[in-house]
């Protein structure tokens, strides 16, 4: 699905059109992209659309799974007590449901939701299914937690090409970091495999097929905590410093990694959606009678340690931003309830 934000009702209708086509082609399990119900953007508007497990989106997932007699999965922002999580939900045709909270928010996402701490295994009539969301896939320890326990992995993602960002300043100037050093160029080359070859290599290590749903379109967003964020980016690309006076109002733009596919347990892709298009992939996969035991040593992910260090630093900085946002959000919600809103 195109990831441009639009009203929830509109996006659910678009999702259902794809689901209907998948079912017509024999699908028993359908995986939707990350935040499929709102689209992807770093904004308070999207954050304020977080829903509970009895909200509009979950009720729609349950109704749709029942109507089409399909197992249906996808990610949305979930509100629970005084926290927000990025949650992947799976619902069976009979209404049974399982959910998993994203363990590793990617850089700026940490300004909008809390980290999850657990893994989830859905014991369905199709088989035992494990869950991951987007940047989670780059953490081998998470894959290891599913080792010998699942027969299929499903992944819901919406990953912008963060290392190919264009920064658009109020003056109209666009800054694209094309002339970075060899170290950053190496990181960019390896990052191209994050949601393709490297992901499939981990699923193959587990010995299971994987279904991976991503989005398409153009990512565009303001930058959370822009002064701190761009100060860090300036360490990678020093020419940014001359725009310091405009840091508060810069927008970023990028393409998405288009990696929607179904792969068998060897890692070979069975079907995929072509880049820069909306669409779906449907394929038969064969699941083991019981969760297979991995053979050999788990492969490294392939991403340089620098990326993880950068992400950890950003998460620490942006956790305080999340705390401020959620205090304001839940205060507003409490006020509405007191006033009968």
24-67 pLDDT tens trace: 999 999 999 999 999 999 988 888 899 999 999 999 999 999 99
pLDDT above 80: residue 339: no
pLDDT tens figures, 79-129: 998 899 999 999 999 999 999 999 999 999 999 999 999 999 999 999 999
* Mean pLDDT of the region 134-156: 98
Per-residue CA distances from 212 to 137, 167, 203 (Å): 11, 29, 11
- pLDDT for 50 equals 92
Q: Which two tokens mark 75?
A: 């990610």
What distance in Å separates the CA atoms of residue 78 and residue 112, rounded to the nearest whole number?
A: 11
Q: What is the mean pLDDT of residues 197-201?
A: 97
Give every strand in the sheet of 269-272, ordered side by side.
121-123, 128-133, 152-156, 210-213, 261-263, 269-272
Q: Which CATH code for domain 8-159+194-217+256-302+314-338?
A: 3.60.110.10
How far is 162 from 188, CA to CA, in rounded Å? Answer: 9
The closest alpha carbon to 202, from 158, 162, 145, 285, belongs to 145
Tokens of 50: 């977080």
Burial class (CB in 10 A: 0-12, 13-18, 19+), 21: middle
Q: Where are the domains of the chain?
A: 8-159+194-217+256-302+314-338
Confidence tier at 236 by pLDDT (50, 70, 90)? confident
Higher pLDDT, 209 or 310: 209
341, pLDDT greater than 60: no
Residue 232, SS3 per DSSP = helix
Which letter, b or e, does each residue of 177-208 get, where b requires 16 or more Cβ atoms within 10 Å of its Cβ? beeeeeebeebeebbebbbbebbbbbbbbbbb
List pLDDT tens digits, range 148-191. 999 999 999 999 998 888 999 998 899 876 555 555 666 677 78
Place of tokens 């190496």: 186
Each residue of 268-304: pLDDT tens digit? 999 999 999 999 999 999 999 999 999 899 999 988 8
Please, are residues 72 and 62 in contact by the beta-carbon 8 Å criterion?
no
Give me the count of residues in the chain: 341
pLDDT higher at 334 or 140? 140
pLDDT of residue 107: 92
DSSP letter at 222? E
Contact 187, 306 (CB under 8 A): yes
The tokens 């996808």 sit on which residue? 74
Instruction: Using the predicted structure, report yes or no on whether residue 332 has a pLDDT greater than 80.
Output: no
Q: What confidence score (pLDDT) does residue 74 get?
A: 98
305 pLDDT tier (thresholds 50, 70, 90) = confident
- Identify the residue with better confidence: 105 or 225: 105
What local confidence, expressed as pLDDT, does residue 22 receive? 98
């Amino acid at each position: 699905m195109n990831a441009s934000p639009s009203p929830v009702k509109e996006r659910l209708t678009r999702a259902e059109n794809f689901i209907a086509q998948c079912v017509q082609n024999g699908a028993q399990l359908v995986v939707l992209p990350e935040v499929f119900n709102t689209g992807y953007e770093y904004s308070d508007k999207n954050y304020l659309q977080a829903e509970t497990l009895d909200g509009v989106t979950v009720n729609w997932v349950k109704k749709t799974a029942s109507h089409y007699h399909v197992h249906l999965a996808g990610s949305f922002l979930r509100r629970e007590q005084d926290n927000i999580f990025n949650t992947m939900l799976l619902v069976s045709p009979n209404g049974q449901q399982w959910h998993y909270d994203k363990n590793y928010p990617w850089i700026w996402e940490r300004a909008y939701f809390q980290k999850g701490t657990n893994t989830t295994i859905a014991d369905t009539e199709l088989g035992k299914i494990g869950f991951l969301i987007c940047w989670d896939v780059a953490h081998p320890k998470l894959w290891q937690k599913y080792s010998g326990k699942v027969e299929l992995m499903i992944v819901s993602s919406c990953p912008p090409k963060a290392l190919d960002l264009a920064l658009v300043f109020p003056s109209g100037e666009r800054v694209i970091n094309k002339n970075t050093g060899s170290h950053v160029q190496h990181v960019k080359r390896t990052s191209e495999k994050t949601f393709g070859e490297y992901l499939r290599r981990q699923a193959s290590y587990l010995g299971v097929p994987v279904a991976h749903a991503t989005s398409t379109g153009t990512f565009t967003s303001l930058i959370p905590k822009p002064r701190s964020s761009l100060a860090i980016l300036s360490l990678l690309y020093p020419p940014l410093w001359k725009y310091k006076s405009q840091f508060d109002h810069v927008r970023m733009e990028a393409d998405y990694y288009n990696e929607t596919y179904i792969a068998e347990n060897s890692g070979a892709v069975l079907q995929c959606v072509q880049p820069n298009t909306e669409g779906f992939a449907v394929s038969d996969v064969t699941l083991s009678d019981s969760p297979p035991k991995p053979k050999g040593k788990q492969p490294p992910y392939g991403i340089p340690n620098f990326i993880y260090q950068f992400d950890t630093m950003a998460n620490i900085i942006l956790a305080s931003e999340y705390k401020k946002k959620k205090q304001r959000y839940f205060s507003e919600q409490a006020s509405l309830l007191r006033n009968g809103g």
